[in-house]
Protein backbone atom coordinates (compact mmCIF):
# COMPACT_ATOMS: atom_id res chain seq x y z
CA UNK A 1 0.00 0.00 0.00
CA UNK A 2 1.38 3.43 -1.00
CA UNK A 3 1.71 6.07 1.70
CA UNK A 4 1.25 9.68 0.57
CA UNK A 5 1.69 12.85 2.63
CA UNK A 6 -0.33 15.97 1.71
CA UNK A 7 1.31 19.18 2.96
CA UNK A 8 -0.51 22.51 3.00
CA UNK A 9 1.26 25.76 3.84
CA UNK A 10 0.27 29.18 5.13
CA UNK A 11 -3.32 30.41 5.05
CA UNK A 12 -4.65 27.16 3.59
CA UNK A 13 -6.21 26.40 6.99
CA UNK A 14 -8.49 29.35 6.11
CA UNK A 15 -9.98 27.69 3.01
CA UNK A 16 -13.73 28.18 2.82
CA UNK A 17 -13.48 31.57 4.55
CA UNK A 18 -10.55 32.98 2.60
CA UNK A 19 -11.28 34.73 -0.74
CA UNK A 20 -13.88 32.08 -1.74
CA UNK A 21 -14.15 33.57 -5.25
CA UNK A 22 -10.55 32.43 -5.80
CA UNK A 23 -10.19 29.39 -3.53
CA UNK A 24 -13.74 28.02 -3.31
CA UNK A 25 -16.15 27.56 -0.43
CA UNK A 26 -14.96 24.23 0.97
CA UNK A 27 -12.74 23.94 4.02
CA UNK A 28 -9.39 22.14 4.12
CA UNK A 29 -11.01 19.46 6.30
CA UNK A 30 -13.67 18.88 3.59
CA UNK A 31 -11.00 18.58 0.91
CA UNK A 32 -8.85 16.27 3.04
CA UNK A 33 -11.80 14.01 3.86
CA UNK A 34 -12.48 13.52 0.14
CA UNK A 35 -8.80 12.84 -0.54
CA UNK A 36 -8.69 10.24 2.22
CA UNK A 37 -11.70 8.47 0.63
CA UNK A 38 -10.14 8.66 -2.84
CA UNK A 39 -6.90 7.25 -1.43
CA UNK A 40 -8.76 4.32 0.14
CA UNK A 41 -10.40 3.56 -3.23
CA UNK A 42 -6.99 3.54 -4.89
CA UNK A 43 -5.34 1.50 -2.16
CA UNK A 44 -3.27 4.36 -0.73
CA UNK A 45 -2.94 5.62 2.82
CA UNK A 46 -3.06 9.43 2.86
CA UNK A 47 -1.82 11.56 5.76
CA UNK A 48 -2.21 15.33 6.14
CA UNK A 49 -0.10 18.15 7.53
CA UNK A 50 -0.79 21.88 7.55
CA UNK A 51 1.32 24.66 9.01
CA UNK A 52 1.67 28.41 8.70
CA UNK A 53 5.33 28.10 9.80
CA UNK A 54 8.07 27.61 7.20
CA UNK A 55 10.39 25.52 9.42
CA UNK A 56 7.58 23.13 10.34
CA UNK A 57 6.89 22.57 6.63
CA UNK A 58 10.62 21.86 6.10
CA UNK A 59 10.51 19.24 8.87
CA UNK A 60 7.36 17.65 7.39
CA UNK A 61 9.11 17.41 4.01
CA UNK A 62 12.06 15.60 5.65
CA UNK A 63 9.62 13.05 7.11
CA UNK A 64 8.78 11.93 3.55
CA UNK A 65 12.25 10.35 3.15
CA UNK A 66 11.66 7.46 5.56
CA UNK A 67 7.90 7.55 6.02
CA UNK A 68 6.22 8.00 2.62
CA UNK A 69 6.22 6.99 -1.06
CA UNK A 70 5.38 10.49 -2.30
CA UNK A 71 4.11 13.91 -1.36
CA UNK A 72 1.58 16.47 -2.59
CA UNK A 73 2.51 20.00 -1.56
CA UNK A 74 0.67 23.31 -1.73
CA UNK A 75 3.16 25.64 -0.05
CA UNK A 76 0.89 28.69 -0.49
CA UNK A 77 2.81 31.94 -0.69
CA UNK A 78 6.08 30.20 0.31
CA UNK A 79 6.00 28.65 -3.17
CA UNK A 80 7.11 31.93 -4.64
CA UNK A 81 10.14 32.70 -2.49
CA UNK A 82 11.16 29.93 -0.06
CA UNK A 83 14.69 28.70 -0.69
CA UNK A 84 14.35 26.58 2.48
CA UNK A 85 11.37 24.64 1.08
CA UNK A 86 13.11 24.25 -2.29
CA UNK A 87 16.18 22.83 -0.51
CA UNK A 88 14.09 20.50 1.67
CA UNK A 89 12.42 18.94 -1.39
CA UNK A 90 15.81 18.68 -3.13
CA UNK A 91 17.13 16.82 -0.06
CA UNK A 92 14.36 14.22 -0.43
CA UNK A 93 14.60 14.06 -4.23
CA UNK A 94 14.40 10.27 -4.36
CA UNK A 95 10.68 10.61 -3.53
CA UNK A 96 8.20 12.15 -6.00
CA UNK A 97 6.75 15.52 -4.99
CA UNK A 98 3.82 17.10 -6.83
CA UNK A 99 3.32 20.84 -6.44
CA UNK A 100 -0.35 21.84 -6.47
CA UNK A 101 -2.29 25.10 -6.42
CA UNK A 102 -6.02 25.67 -6.30
CA UNK A 103 -5.79 28.76 -8.49
CA UNK A 104 -4.01 29.23 -11.80
CA UNK A 105 -1.19 31.37 -10.44
CA UNK A 106 -0.13 32.33 -13.98
CA UNK A 107 -3.33 34.32 -14.54
CA UNK A 108 -2.77 36.25 -11.31
CA UNK A 109 -0.26 38.81 -9.99
CA UNK A 110 3.21 38.61 -11.50
CA UNK A 111 4.83 37.77 -8.15
CA UNK A 112 2.87 34.49 -8.19
CA UNK A 113 4.28 33.43 -11.57
CA UNK A 114 7.59 32.24 -10.17
CA UNK A 115 7.77 28.96 -8.26
CA UNK A 116 10.81 27.99 -6.22
CA UNK A 117 9.42 24.45 -5.98
CA UNK A 118 8.67 23.48 -9.60
CA UNK A 119 12.33 22.76 -10.48
CA UNK A 120 12.56 20.14 -7.70
CA UNK A 121 9.09 18.62 -8.12
CA UNK A 122 8.17 15.74 -10.40
CA UNK A 123 5.12 17.63 -11.68
CA UNK A 124 2.87 20.61 -11.12
CA UNK A 125 -0.96 20.70 -11.15
CA UNK A 126 -2.72 24.04 -10.81
CA UNK A 127 -5.90 25.89 -11.58
CA UNK A 128 -8.43 23.10 -10.98
CA UNK A 129 -9.55 24.20 -7.52
CA UNK A 130 -9.70 21.33 -5.04
CA UNK A 131 -9.51 18.91 -7.98
CA UNK A 132 -5.82 19.85 -8.27
CA UNK A 133 -5.23 17.69 -5.17
CA UNK A 134 -7.20 14.66 -6.42
CA UNK A 135 -5.47 14.80 -9.81
CA UNK A 136 -2.12 14.82 -8.01
CA UNK A 137 -3.14 11.87 -5.82
CA UNK A 138 -4.20 9.89 -8.91
CA UNK A 139 -0.90 10.73 -10.61
CA UNK A 140 1.09 9.48 -7.61
CA UNK A 141 -1.01 6.33 -7.16
CA UNK A 142 -0.83 5.39 -10.84
CA UNK A 143 2.92 6.08 -10.99
C1 LIG B 1 -2.05 29.13 -3.77
C2 LIG B 1 -1.52 30.26 -4.66
C3 LIG B 1 -0.52 31.10 -3.90
O4 LIG B 1 -0.05 32.17 -4.73
C5 LIG B 1 -1.17 31.70 -2.67
O6 LIG B 1 -0.22 32.45 -1.93
C7 LIG B 1 -1.85 30.71 -1.83
C8 LIG B 1 -2.64 29.66 -2.48
C9 LIG B 1 -3.15 28.30 -4.48
O10 LIG B 1 -3.43 27.22 -4.03
O11 LIG B 1 -3.75 28.77 -5.45
O12 LIG B 1 -1.83 30.77 -0.60
O13 LIG B 1 -0.98 28.25 -3.48
- The catalytically annotated residue of 68, 78, 86, 101 is 101
| Global pTM value | 0.97
- Please tell me if the CB atom of residue 102 comes closer than 6 angstroms to any atom of ligand 1: yes
pLDDT tens-digit series, residues 27-79: 999 999 999 999 999 999 999 999 999 999 999 999 999 999 999 999 999 99
Determine the Cα–Cα distance for residues 5 and 49; give it in Å rounded to an integer.
7
* Pocket residue to mutate for ligand 1, from 7, 9, 28, 76, most atoms within 8 A of Cβ: 76
Query: Phi first, then psi: what are they for 101, rounded to 5°?
Result: -140, 145
- The catalytically annotated residue of 23, 68, 78, 133 is 23
pLDDT tens-digit series, residues 68-99: 999 999 999 999 999 999 999 999 989 999 99
Give the ligand 1 atom nearest the CA of 75. 13
Determine the Cα–Cα distance for residues 50 and 56; give it in Å rounded to an integer.
9
Q: What is the pLDDT of residue 97?
A: 98
Amino acid sequence: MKKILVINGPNLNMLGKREPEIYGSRSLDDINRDLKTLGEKMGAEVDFFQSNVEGEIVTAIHSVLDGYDGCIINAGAYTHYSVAIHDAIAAVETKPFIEVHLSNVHTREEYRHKSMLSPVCKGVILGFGEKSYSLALKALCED
